[in-house]
Structure 1
């Protein structure tokens, strides 16, 4: 018992020292020649692991940008200052999954415990962006002075548009399209702000609502015991009520749902906020059985603001939308037959089951070796993403898919395949993810030797089995409808309205 207590004390002390040392290193400038070594190292690893590095940028152009970056590093920089130089150059590769991890201050146990008792600042709201303007989209807690439609003009006397311009440079979509940035920035700008300014207990805001300008302080509030208890009960209730819909605690919504637009069940609406894959097989099995029993004629699948997720889930969903034995994805391209050995195998495994993961690791290596194949001088992993058996409950009616710039990764691959098969009619805005595929899947996280910045590099090129457009753009809708910021703030769903009118006209 004494040894156990002693061990725990040592671990706690070591952890505190580790956090302190890490945070101190974030404030230490790194010599310019060392940072240039990091730039060279990053480029080398990108070339080694990224399977389609020159998809959207030529080698000469990328070489020039990396060389130009090194010429701007003429004095020592702190890790965050170096990040703000390196990340915009990596973003020029125009791969939405590829970005340097921003260096952030680690929290002590005491700070973590304190934040658990506090409500957030900006994290309590959802936002919408129009150009360089930032608006409050949702205020579920009805915090004073933050009505839906409020524009945030300044934060701590600094113009909001300056923050948005700075952070937009750190974000890229796939290829040439520009639709993804505003959706991702609306979700992430407050995180960038916190990384830059630290965790604050209050901020001074200048806002505008209905032409009235206000200045006030937005402050953290303590979570009462009653509120914590009520929230815990509410979350548990939602999780139990619709288990297969997969309640997302962080976003306070279900990852997937199925409803009917008409009493006669002729029109169904399936909303998918994320391809989390948690209980998804059961959800789709039950949902499509319900659609078949209800003799539903029209199915609307909403993938707007879905940043992607599991390829296995979209492959399974696709199998309910076709009555042909088609291949969903091509074989997965990698840089070499050894690249998958560098994947972050243990990083995504919880500490409790890492011993089991270690036992299974040799089997992973053997499986990876046998899945490799070479064709025309390129290396591939054999993909099993194809329809082996036609689903009994596959949907045979008219299919509409709603997309926008927030449809990314897996939420671009599936619409691309459905459009390529001429199976669905797409409505909305060009997707943030590319039409012809995405470099995603497993990552190899590289640590730059001097700055210690993390660079996760996707190892796998996923491409739908379609005739490629080679436009370097996202999935383009059959009917483009882009709501104005006024319609967004008023929660007017003009894209869905168009589909319902189109169906009514058909009837």
Structure 2
């Protein structure tokens, strides 16, 4: 009996391993299999139909006539079979023409076997280990903490595997979009994502040939994947252990830095600097509670909030953060608009549940459905989720000193919403560059991920129109700063923070 059970268990394990290998092989084979024009055109129609049905403000930045024309024109160019990757490069720019920064087509990626996954986990990458800045369609190294290939900060990457970088950037630029007619976000987003696009097109390479120039010096080097040392692996494990401080400040083991931090910039604690890299929501409540209690106790007069390069995140977190500045009861965002009474039932509901608690998600789904339908009200011919974010009172430890907020083109989504609210209510002086996210809100929140039937690519569609509770500017652009200061390439590469310097000088002058 025992032997039979063991045999069955062994057979099941072997079957699962073989099925997994076949599944990976079949998936990867599809990546190289051209799809007929008829099937691709059906995918184009499918994508547009789902956008029209689920997106709450599809024609915000582009008219229906123009978008109809773009989708029709795309279909006319599809007259021969295309691989999924080739089709992606055709459809993604049209999706980007909607001009919603959160809306993007997700390409198919090559699946890895368990053996390949294990090997890559123990290796350090190539181009992805560098940080970049783009200026005038050229790519420069902004940071090289590990001194890969001895490439100095400020080095311009001219070619990758003999392909001119200008050509690479030109190819990927149409895949990147921001909210509305904002342009400041593009170069930041492309600098972050160009390596991802490159890997999707050419695969995960073990080595990359790079031609680079620093000042007048030209050189060609080969960047190779390196195996992590035992010391590095041990340090990674230590970094992943969460202390109370790491939890509260949101420690990121990849960047080896805190997500949020507060420090005083002078001896008498009259000037404080709060850096928030992302509104992750995790443990943020405790961080703000501790921070603003400390500011009150220290008698801080001026607070600088730095949300440059903050791509957004939790609405709950920014609502809570704003309550530390409001002088009276406030409503942070307007009632959320959706496309129909039932659109949020198409959301990726179970994705929010870890594998262990998915059964709980299945059980609770009928309740979610009921609450969603009942909570959606029709008003003036549109559908809204009423009072999802009700009015809120200011915190007891609210800060009423002078507040500056540092922003740039990579301040996106939730960062733009709180910036717009700060500016409209006159509670802070915004310094820096126009934000990448729109002043009048964005479409995001929860998503309904639609899989295109033939190419199998995914199209996550935001279901919520989220707008700060302010008088709309209708500029179709980002939040503009009260004081515009845009650093030059040289200042960025020399780590000269001209925006923070201006704030400190302004504080000193007014003192």
- TM class, shorter-length: over 0.9
User: Which is further off, 310-319 or 126-135?
Assistant: 126-135
CA apart distance, 1:380: 0.5
Secondary structure at 2:350 match in 1: coil
Choose which of 455, 478, 485 in structure 2 pairs with 1:474.
478
Q: Which residue of 2 aligns with 1:230?
A: 235
Secondary structure at 2:352 match in 1: coil
Q: Does 1:440 align with 2:444?
A: yes
**Deviation string, structure 1 residues 193-220 (Cα, Å, up to 9, x no partner):** 1000001111111001122000111111
Choose which of 278, 297, 304 in structure 1 pairs with 2:301.
297
Q: Does 1:401 align with 2:398?
A: no
CA apart distance, 1:252: 2.8
Choose which of 408, 413, 417 in structure 2 pairs with 1:413.
417
Q: Does 1:151 align with 2:156?
A: yes
CA apart distance, 1:168: 1.1
Q: Does 1:70 align with 2:80?
A: no
Contact 1:324 1:387 in 2 (8 A): no
Secondary structure at 1:445 match in 2: strand
What is the CA–CA distance in structure 2 between the aligned matches of 1:349 and 1:150, rounded to whole Å?
Answer: 44
Q: Structure 1 residues 345 and 378, CA, compared in 2 at 3 Å: closer, same or farther?
A: same
Equivalent residues in 2 for 1:177-188, closer than 5 Å: 177-188=182-193
Q: Does 1:43 align with 2:57?
A: no
Q: Structure 1 residues 138 and 235, CA, compared in 2 at 3 Å: closer, same or farther?
A: farther
Choose which of 488, 491, 497 in structure 1 pairs with 2:492.
488
Q: Which residue of 1 aligns with 2:118?
A: 113
CA apart distance, 1:242: 3.3
User: Which is further off, 6-15 or 325-334?
Assistant: 6-15
What is the CA–CA distance in structure 1 between the aligned matches of 2:84 and 2:302, rounded to whole Å?
Answer: 53
CA apart distance, 1:386: 4.1
Q: Does 1:211 align with 2:211?
A: no
CA apart distance, 1:124: 1.4
Contact 1:319 1:387 in 2 (8 A): no
User: Which is further off, 216-225 or 47-56?
Assistant: 216-225
Q: Which residue of 1 aligns with 2:20?
A: 15
Q: Which residue of 1 aligns with 2:196?
A: 191
CA apart distance, 1:347: 2.2
**Deviation string, structure 1 residues 279-336 (Cα, Å, up to 9, x no partner):** 0000000000001101111111001001110111100101111121011000000000
Contact 1:325 1:386 in 2 (8 A): no
Choose which of 429, 432, 436 in structure 1 pairs with 2:433.
429
User: Which is further off, 386-395 or 78-87?
Assistant: 386-395
Choose which of 142, 161, 184 in structure 2 pairs with 1:137.
142
**Deviation string, structure 1 residues 17-56 (Cα, Å, up to 9, x no partner):** 1111111011111110111111111110000000000000
What is the CA–CA distance in structure 1 between the aligned matches of 2:316 and 2:11, rounded to whole Å?
Answer: 46
Contact 2:330 2:393 in 1 (8 A): no
Choose which of 326, 329, 348 in structure 1 pairs with 2:330.
326
What is the CA–CA distance in structure 2 between the aligned matches of 1:369 and 1:4, rounded to whole Å?
Answer: 45
Choose which of 350, 373, 377 in structure 2 pairs with 1:373.
377
Q: Does 1:341 align with 2:341?
A: no
Q: Does 1:160 align with 2:159?
A: no
Contact 2:452 2:459 in 1 (8 A): yes
Choose which of 477, 497, 502 in structure 1 pairs with 2:506.
502
Secondary structure at 1:374 match in 2: strand
Contact 1:323 1:391 in 2 (8 A): no
Secondary structure at 1:102 match in 2: coil
CA apart distance, 1:74: 0.4
Secondary structure at 1:275 match in 2: coil
**Deviation string, structure 1 residues 50-106 (Cα, Å, up to 9, x no partner):** 000000000000000001000100000011100100000110110000010011111
What is the CA–CA distance in structure 2 between the aligned matches of 1:185 and 1:368, rounded to whole Å?
Answer: 37
Choose which of 20, 25, 28 in structure 1 pairs with 2:30.
25
Choose which of 378, 389, 396 in structure 1 pairs with 2:393.
389
CA apart distance, 1:125: 1.5
CA apart distance, 1:240: 4.8
CA apart distance, 1:192: 0.6
Task: Show structure 2 runs of 5+ residues with no match.
Answer: none
Contact 2:313 2:413 in 1 (8 A): yes
Contact 2:325 2:394 in 1 (8 A): no
Compute the TM-score of the two structures, normalised by the length of structure 2: 0.97
